[in-house]
A and B are shown apart, each in its own frame.
Chain A
Amino acid sequence: MFALLGIAGILTGLAGSIWLVIAAVRATGVGEAAGLRRPVQTILGGAVLAMLALEAALLADDFSLEYVANHHARATPFPFNFATGWAALEGSIVLWGLILAVYTWVTFKSVSRTARNEGDRLGVAALAVMGLVAVFFFGLQATVANPFQVCVEAAANGCLDASPFPWAAAQAPPDGPGPNPLLQNHILMAIHPPMLYLGFIGLTVPFAYAISALAIKEAGVEWLRRSRRSTLVAWTFLTAGIVLGAWWAYEVLSWGGYWGWDPVENASLMPWLVATAFLHSALVQMRRGALQAWNFVLVIGAFSLTILGTFLTRSGVIGSVHSFTQSAIGPVLLGFLFLVVAGSFWLFSTRSHLVADSPRLDSLVSREGSFLLNNLLLTIFAFVVLTGTLYPLVIEAITGDRVSVGRPFFVRMIVPLAFALLLAMGVGPQTPWREADPGRVAASLRVPIQVALAAGVLTVLFASRIGYVVGAVVAGTFVIASGVSLLIGRASRAARARATGPSGSVGREIRRQLTAEPSFWAGQLSHAGVALVAIGIGFTANLAQHGEVAMEPGDHIEFAGYNLHYRSPFLLTEPNRRVQGATIEVSVDGEVVTELRPRANFYGGDTAGISTPAVHTAFTGDLYLTLLNIDATGILLRMDTSPGIWLLWVGGLIAAGGGAWSLTARRRALVTAGV
């Protein structure tokens, strides 16, 4: 039954997508959106039905579906059984389709509003593009990535063979192997993929508007303005998704790090970098009309990198801790990727005359100039990540040699870029548009520089004298101080202009500044978040301490200012796993601070456990304990510190928060502007 409903949903979505493309292409001449309501609703209805059918099948333990049989187990607790809906390849495409359908519907609402007044060729054509993307993703679900295949040959634990026809004679195995144990350890695993998808898929909207603008030959600022909200939404979710992914990796995987430069991690970082560049560069075009060609290239690049990322994750061409298993979906995704890249750039090249009269920049020393620098730095950053990720593949195809590209390469290339970016983040907002007087800019940076250097002095005196650490603190503080001093500076000047007296009014003036230009200050908040992340990375990468010790119950050890006392081992039996661990008492200066319980989880019949670390978070940093081994004789304990790592999570979420603030602000601005 679920198979039937699910396939009905997929086919409805596919039909709706095709309908949308046809209707939208037809309506592009006039720009009338009314006829697109039904197709968009059909897509949404189909996508919702498919998702609901899949989730219902999982929650009802319907093992006659091959997807459920191979990825779900009866013992899997809620919410992980729900999250299984997107944990494996086919389910993840269903989620993709649903989110795409929602974005299409939201885009339609905005297009129909505009179209009612004066016709909206741009918006209608954009919907056509979104329809094409939807055709692809629903097409995937209907063919190579069908989650509603019926199991026709059951094994004791899973399904051996499946048929795509929902009326096939189904055999339901009694139980399934369940999701990968790593995906059941932490609630973040349920949240991280949907967040990322909301980010990736959101980039479809500005891409659609860009292609639409090129296709109907209306390249101007309109496509940027119309897609701004979606870009911000996508960027916010993508930022949050990446930060949450790093946080999850840190909390769950026991290697003590948060970013492994794994190909699939890189695949999420690249679109983020290019989307960030696009977000900034678009401002230049909206304000001054310049950088038109850049914006097209950036948005096509961001979307293409999203598809590349999807391809790398699902095709199995690169080994990764993240990858789904290889399947026939690889070649299909590759074909789509090629179409997107080649097609978009070909279209762009044939319409290049549209951007030919893009105004030149008057000077590089200006806000535009710093945005251009930003574009350059972020693009090179993305290029470095792309090169590092794909290089082993390319070299192997050409010479047959096997090489690895890991952290040392990325770090060496990116650290100088990162410092340059932080510098630009601090200087840029203080630089006026058009042409700036370097002397005045320097004057406005005087105080931030001093504050930054003072922070550097404090670091040198109390924290560390390692160059990277001090540099990160100075650069990060510079960014934050620059933003704060800008705010205070403007507020106090405005207060003086109003001649209303002492500092109480500066506070009110600050509030007025924030509400008058919310998107600008939201951006500054995001910058501050990024600065905090940079400082956090500087600390954790350079000041972490490590140790390994064998302990028997009752042993004590001193580590990084903590006294660790191994009290006893423990054993727990949970419905889906067996847990063996150690209870360790942590004290500082004789006072017990906490009790940490690192453990090894044994799922199913596994004889080797998956270890989960125990983390104690403090202001100065985390204490991170992992069990390397536990048996009758004692434990082998690994100890790490992560100084200042909370800065990463807090900073990352602040950066995303800036994006969210910008979104709320825009609605108010739109409302007050009477639009």
Chain B
Amino acid sequence: MSERTQRLWSWTVSGALAVFVLIAVLVAPDPSEDRARSLGERLRCPVCQGESIAESPSDAARDMMDLVRSRIAEGSTDQQIIDELVASFGATVLLDPPVSGSTLWLWLLPVAAAAVGVGLVLTRVRPSLVRETVAAPLRFRRSTVGGMVVLAAAAITVVVVGQFRQARVDDLEPIDPATISNETLEAVIAANSDDPQILGMRLGLANRYFEDGDYQRAFPHYEAVIEGNPTPVQAGAALTRLGWMVFDGNGEVDLAIDLMDQALEAVPADPFALYLKGRVIWCGRADAATAIDLFGQVLAGPDLEAEVRENVEADLSAARAGDTC
């Protein structure tokens, strides 16, 4: 057999084998595809680092595969199942990023790079006119300047575009105490009732209730303050108001005066305690003289708020005038 015939024969054999293989592959029945598994391999296990829910042995992954299987049994399409999971977890659950939106460039970049690479290779082989034409206007100096311009542009672009990204809401904004609701304070106090530092918060909450006239809610907190080893100032504030509540709410005069005396022991000459004591004595015992004396002490003492001063002065003149309270 001549060289040429041998060669021809050889290529024919190769050709026949190739055709056989190709046909066999093309007409092969689709392997019994586990649709759930194929879909699962495109979905990321949220509690693992990059494993798919099909591969990961973790419980969370297996629960999700279970969900995928039941959705498939219910007749959902692959895209519907993906959309459902993306709605819950976000785009990060997709291991197979879509060729659109944010991930469009992911798919385009390698293809573009390949095209550029092939182009470059071709230009390296042929000392072609094309290359000369392109190279000519690019002198050294221009390319350095050009490079720096590109550098600056890139930096500016990144910074500017960065401004448009969604603001992350991770940072805890400082909480303004005045905006904290009563319920929140109740919750914090209940959760930290063992903490001795919580007394200040209790007192603050109780004062709020007191000012709102909600004696029922204020009462247990004032009690807790007094029983909880308070500072003299805290004790004074609590006792004063307790005294008033006892008088105003239950009509008990002697107990009220007793509590206020205790408050004055804790913080001597406390204007608020003196004032309220005065009112109790004036209103409860109809003893205007002692009341006038107390009111006088209040006005003579250290600075008062304008509103409080007005009230005290009004009560003083009313008592002097012999009015009932």
A: which residues have CB within 8 A of B?
Answer: 254-257, 260-263, 319-321, 360-361, 363-364, 369, 372-373, 376, 379-380, 383-384, 387-388, 391, 395-409, 413, 443, 446, 449-450, 453-454, 456-457, 460, 465-467, 470, 474, 546, 611, 626, 628, 638
Provide the bound-state CA to CA distance between A379 and B117, in Å.
9
CB of B7 within 8 A of CB of A446, answer yes
Q: Are A408 and B96 in contact (CB under 8 A)?
A: yes
- Tell whether B56 is near chain A: CB-to-CB under 8 Å: yes
* Contact present for B95 and A402 (CB under 8 Å): no
Whether the pair B55, A256 counts as a contact (CB closer than 8 A) is: yes
Binding site for A on B (CB under 8 A): 7, 10-11, 13-14, 17-18, 20-21, 24-25, 28, 31, 34, 37, 41-42, 44, 49-52, 55-57, 62, 90-97, 102-103, 105-107, 109-110, 113-114, 117-118, 121, 124-125, 127, 158, 161-162, 164-168
* Interface residue from A397, A406, A413, A457 paired with B44 (Cβ < 8 Å): A406
Instruction: Please indicate the chain B residues that have their CB under 8 angstroms from the CB of A465 in the complex.
Output: 24-25, 28
- Which of A361, A363, A403, A409 neighbours the largest number of chain B CB atoms within 10 Å of its CB? A403
Mind listing 16 A-B residue pairs with CB under 8 Å?
Answer: A255-B57, A369-B125, A383-B113, A397-B158, A399-B164, A405-B103, A406-B42, A406-B52, A406-B96, A407-B41, A408-B95, A449-B14, A460-B21, A470-B24, A546-B34, A638-B57
Known contacts A395-B103, A398-B165, A404-B50; is A460 also within 8 Å of B25 by CB? yes
Q: Do B92 and A402 touch (CB < 8 A)?
A: yes
Task: List the B residue with the shortest CB-CB distance to A322.
Answer: B49
Q: How far is the CB of A338 from chain B (nearest CB, A)?
A: 13
Q: Could you say which of A405, A406, A626, A628 has the most chain B C-beta atoms within 10 Å of its C-beta?
A: A406
- The answer to whether A403 and B97 touch across the interface, beta carbons within 8 angstroms, is yes
Beta-carbon contact of A408 and B50 below 8 Å: no
Bound CA–CA A638/B37 (angstroms): 14
Kindly report which residue of chain B lies nearest to residue A454, judged by CB atoms. B17
Q: Which residues of A contact B52 (CB under 8 A)?
A: 406-407
A436: min CB distance to chain B, Å: 14
Q: Which chain B residue lies CB-closest to A628?
A: B57
Sorted nearest first, the 8 A-B pairs with minimum C-beta distance are: A406-B95, A465-B28, A408-B96, A400-B165, A453-B17, A400-B166, A402-B92, A460-B24
Total of A-B residue pairs, C-beta within 8 Å: 153
> A467 near B25 (CB under 8 angstroms)?
yes
Tell me which residues across on chain B come within 8 A of A380, comparing CB atoms. 110, 113-114, 117
Among residues of A, the one whose C-beta sits closest to the C-beta of B168 is A400
Interface residues of A: mostly helix, strand, loop or mixed? helix
User: Which residues of chain B come closer than 8 Å to A449, judged between CB atoms?
Assistant: 14
* Contact partners of B113 in chain A: CB under 8 A: 380, 383
Given contacts A401-B166, A626-B57, 18 further A-B contacts (CB under 8 A): A260-B50, A260-B51, A261-B50, A380-B110, A391-B103, A395-B103, A396-B165, A398-B158, A399-B166, A402-B92, A404-B97, A408-B42, A450-B17, A456-B17, A460-B20, A460-B24, A465-B24, A611-B57
Verify B14–A450 contact, CB threshold 8 A: yes
Interchain CB contact under 8 A, A398 and B103: no
Among B55, B117, B162, contact of A257 (Cβ-Cβ < 8 Å):
B55
Q: Do A399 and B95 have beta carbons less than 8 Å apart?
A: no
In the bound complex, CA of A611 to CA of B58 (Å) = 10
Report the bound CA distance from A638 to B55 in whole Å: 11
Q: Are B125 and A446 neighbours in the complex by a CB distance under 8 Å?
A: no
Is the beta-carbon distance between B124 and A474 smaller than 8 angstroms?
no
B206 to chain A, nearest CB (A): 39
B27, closest chain A residue (CB): A465
B51-A456 in contact (CB<8A): no
User: Which residues of chain A are near B50, meaning CB under 8 Å?
Assistant: 260-263, 320-321, 404, 406
Residues of A within 8 A of B164 (CB): 399
A319, A321, A399 interface centre (most CB from chain B within 10 Å): A399
In the bound complex, residues from chain A placing their C-beta under 8 Å from that of B11 are 446
Contact of A360 among B49, B97, B127 (CB under 8 A): B127
Report B39 CB to chain A, min CB distance, Å.
11
Across the interface, A405 reaches (CB within 8 A) one of B55, B106, B161, namely B106
Do B110 and A453 touch across chains, with their CB atoms under 8 A apart? no
Q: A611's closest neighbor in chain B, by CB?
A: B57
Bound state CA distance, A409 and B103, in angstroms? 11
Query: Within the complex, what minimum Cβ distance (angstroms) separates B52 from chain A?
Result: 7
- On whether the beta carbons of B41 and A453 are closer than 8 Å, the reply is no
In the complex, what distance in Å separates the CA atom of A413 from the CA atom of B51? 19
* Across-interface contacts of B94 in A (CB, < 8 A): 403-404
B17 with A413: CB separation less than 8 A: no
Give bound CA distance, A364 to B41, whole Å. 40
Contacts of B117 in A (CB 8 A): 376, 379-380
Check if A376 sits within 8 Å of B121, measured CB to CB: yes
Also in contact, A404 and B124, with CB within 8 A (given A460-B24, A638-B57): no
Contacts of B121 in A (CB 8 A): 364, 372-373, 376
Measured in the bound complex, the distance between the Cα atoms of B96 and A261 in whole Å is 12
Q: Smallest CB-CB separation from B24: which chain A residue?
A: A460
Please give the distance in Å from B246's CB to the nearest CB on chain A.
51
Shortest Cβ gap from B146 to chain A (Å): 12
Q: How far is the CB of A648 from chain B (nearest CB, A)?
A: 17
In the complex, what residues of A have CB within 8 A of residue B7's CB? 443, 446
> Known interface pairs A383-B110, A387-B106. Does A453 touch B18 (Cβ–Cβ under 8 Å)?
yes
Q: How far is the CA of A318 from the CA of B52 in the complex (A)?
A: 18
Pick the contact of A397: B34, B95, B162 (CB < 8 A): B162
Residue contact A388 to B106, C-beta cutoff 8 Å: yes
Chain B residue contacts of A400, Cβ below 8 A: 165-168
Question: Which residue of chain A has its CB nearest to the CB of B25?
Answer: A467
- CB <8 Å contact, B110 and A384: yes
Nearest-neighbour CB distance to chain A for B159, whole angstroms, equals: 11
A470 touches B25 (CB 8 A): yes
Least Cβ–Cβ distance between A208 and chain B, in angstroms? 26
Interfacial chain A residues near B42, Cβ < 8 Å: 406, 408
What residue in chain B is nearest A369 (Cβ atoms)? B125
Contact A391-B51, Cβ < 8 Å, known A398-B161, A446-B7, A470-B25: no
Complex: A611 Cα to B167 Cα, angstroms: 40
Contact B106 A546 (CB under 8 A): no
**Chain B positions within 8 Å of A384 at CB level:** 110
B97 x A405 contact (CB < 8 A): yes
Cβ contact within 8 Å between A391 and B106: yes
Given contacts A398-B158, A398-B165, contact A321 B95 (CB under 8 A): no
Q: Is the CB of B91 within 8 A of A402?
A: yes
- The CA-CA distance from A454 to B18 in the complex, in Å, is 9
Task: Find out whether the CB atom of A457 lies under 8 angstroms from the CB atom of B17.
Answer: yes
Q: Which residue of B lies closest to A456 (CB)?
A: B21
Is the Cβ of A397 less than 8 Å from the Cβ of B165? Answer: yes
Q: Please, which residues of chain B bring their CB within 8 A of the CB of A364?
A: 121, 125
| Complex Cα–Cα for A396 and B158 (A) | 12
Identify the closest chain A residue to B103 (Cβ): A403
CB distance from A657 to the nearest CB of B (A): 30
Residues on B with C-beta less than 8 A from A402 are 90-92
Tell me whether B13 and A398 are in contact (CB under 8 A). no
Minimum C-beta distance from B92 to chain A (A): 4
